[in-house]
């Protein structure tokens, strides 16, 4: 069982819909129940799901440098391979455009891992302080009551 790890599913629409639907329970509840003839077992299964997919079957729908060859119906079918309830359980969607050859091969200075680590540690410390007297340990585990308590919007 996957516990507190990262599950990365590349080409998400290529998985069988039934396979993806099985992920709904652990994404929602943090555990998974397996029913057999004689007994039912529940295992811990809290994890971070990362998934990738193309914008359409040919992959060029949003590409400014090449034309998509898919029909609107093909694009619609491709997107409908992932159910609404599963999409509801994903928190962040990011469109990542294709990089040009020069962008991939050019050497440039990026943010050092050390400074990224420092920012992550600072964010984790804020979470530790925020949830000091609570049962959750990070934002991903917050329920609706936690969101109301800790994420109240002000007038602005």
Q: How far is the CB of 55 from Zn ion (least distance, A)?
A: 7
- Distance separating alpha carbons of residues 38 and 81, to the nearest angstrom: 34
Q: Is 70 in the site for Zn ion (CB under 5 A)?
A: yes
Letter string b/e over residues 75-90, b meaning 16 or more CB atoms within 10 A of that residue's CB: beebeeebeeebeeee
Candidate ranges 6-14, 64-72, 104-112, 136-144; the one touching Zn ion (CB under 5 A): 64-72
Q: Is 56 in the site for Zn ion (CB under 5 A)?
A: yes
> Tokens 């290529």 appear where?
14
3-state helix, strand and coil shares in percent for the chain, rounded to the nearest 5:
40, 15, 50
Query: Binding residues for Zn ion, how many (CB under 5 A)?
Result: 6
Cβ-based nearer residue to Zn ion, 20 or 70:
70
Candidate ranges 11-19, 65-73, 77-85, 127-135; the one touching Zn ion (CB under 5 A): 65-73
Residues that bind Zn ion (CB under 5 A): 56, 58, 60-61, 68, 70
């Amino acid at each position: 069982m996957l516990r507190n790890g990262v599950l990365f599913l590349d080409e998400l629409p290529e998985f069988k819909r039934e396979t993806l639907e099985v992920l709904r329970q652990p994404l929602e509840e943090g555990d998974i129940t397996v029913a057999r003839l004689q007994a039912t077992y529940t295992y811990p299964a809290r994890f971070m799901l990362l998934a990738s997919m193309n914008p359409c079957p040919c992959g060029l729908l949003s590409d400014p440098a090449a034309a998509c060859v898919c029909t609107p119906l093909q694009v619609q079918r491709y997107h409908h391979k992932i159910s609404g309830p599963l999409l509801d359980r994903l928190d962040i969607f990011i469109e990542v455009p294709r990089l040009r050859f020069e962008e991939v091969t050019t050497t440039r200075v990026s943010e050092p891992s050390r400074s990224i680590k420092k920012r992550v540690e600072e964010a984790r410390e804020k979470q530790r302080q925020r949830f000091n007297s609570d049962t959750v340990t990070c934002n991903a585990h917050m329920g609706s009551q936690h969101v109301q308590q800790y994420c109240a919007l002000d007038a602005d």
